[in-house]
Structure 1
Amino acid sequence: MPQPETFPIENIFVPTKQKKALNSATVAEIAESMLDIGQQTPISVRRDGDRLVLVEGLHRLEACKALGETTILGVLVAAELAQPKPLLAERPEVETERIKMARLKQLRLEKEAAEASAASLRGAGAGEALRARSATGVRSNPKASTGRTAKPAPKSLSAWIDQQKGSGGRY
């Protein structure tokens, strides 16, 4: 592992992509820590012609700038080794998980919409039946059977799918 050395802060170039990740609260915390115990972890830089390019340690660099330092402790790394760590969103397993969660959310929304539609149809159907009975003067018998037995509402998505398969419905 290369030994840390001191680099002039003014010669360090920060790529625009890294500047976007700057958090001023983190810079303030690191600056306070540097005042108390000094810089504990060196930054990583690589050579690009006659300038140095920051690879890792943006918040430490900005903390040193805020404290008025002119130099910073750093490690010079080879350009081949200077590949930045992939962002969380760029990792394939994160994208796979995001797609899976989106599918589950879509299924849940479809199920809720189907339940709401069924509930409104049941409510509307009951209201029409009551109006029709009252118009004809027929009294309703709550114990009378309609000839069909209503299936209980499924308690889970898999139970709903099984119910749909059993009744020949689309799912």
Structure 2
Amino acid sequence: MPKPESFPIENIFVPTKQKKALRPDTVAEIAESILDIGQQSPIFVWRDGDRLVLVEGLHRLEACKALGETTILGVLVSAELAQHKPQLAERPEVEAERLKMARLRQLRLEKEAAEAASAGSKRVSATDVSRTRPANGVRDNAKASASRIAKSKPKSLSDWITQQKGSGGRY
């Protein structure tokens, strides 16, 4: 396989048929991956006169564009190989890249879920702190009246009686 080289992004032409297959969510995931670990897999282009025509790697190309890159790693393939793109997609390196991206996506989702769970537990502890009385022993009247308003509409008579007993009120 030829060695990857750097190509100017502005010289790469993307056929209209390929542009229709663009998925913004995939571009965003690849852009995050490129920020974290760099571009791991080159795109494939072939030379058509003065321009380069994209054969494979639309989402990587768009991710680099979104990140403000001016160049991208790619491999120059012959026009004959460009016509046999399905064979190129079946190569083990390409499949390995797809699997790696799927693993990275899964790890990122797991990390986000763990962060969300951690943030949720922090919010609960912050809520518990806000429920405690201030050091000077004085209650915040705005908070007290807000809690009374929230409790003012019981759903049933038994809920109302329970609420009255809990607050020390008459029933």
Q: TM-score, normalised by structure 1?
A: 0.49
**Greater helix share, 1 or 2?**
2
Q: TM-score, normalised by structure 2?
A: 0.49
Between Structure 1 and Structure 2, whose CA radius of gyration is higher?
1
